[in-house]
């Protein structure tokens, strides 16, 4: 499902995670708070983006 190419990991097929924290845990290999770890291209956390849209 995930392949490593150079220093990057890439999903070779779509996968839906139950939460952003689960997705982050898969990528990092340990428990993490996905709401604060995932950032968009502007550097805003997923939590910041979510609160702005509410």
4-54 pLDDT tens trace: 888 888 889 999 999 999 999 988 899 999 999 999 999 999 999 988 876
Stated as kind and residue range, the H or E segment containing 38 is none
Predicted confidence at residue 4, as pLDDT, reads 86
Nearest to 22 by CA among 40, 51, 44, 46: 46
**Is this prediction's pTM over 0.85?**
no
Q: What is the pLDDT of residue 52?
A: 80
pLDDT of residue 53: 74
């Amino acid at each position: 499902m995930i392949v490593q190419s150079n220093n990057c990991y890439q999903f070779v097929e779509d996968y839906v995670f139950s939460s952003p924290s689960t997705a982050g845990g898969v990528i990092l290999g340990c428990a993490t708070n996905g709401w604060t770890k995932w950032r968009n291209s502007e550097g805003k956390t997923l939590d910041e983006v979510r609160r702005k849209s509410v």
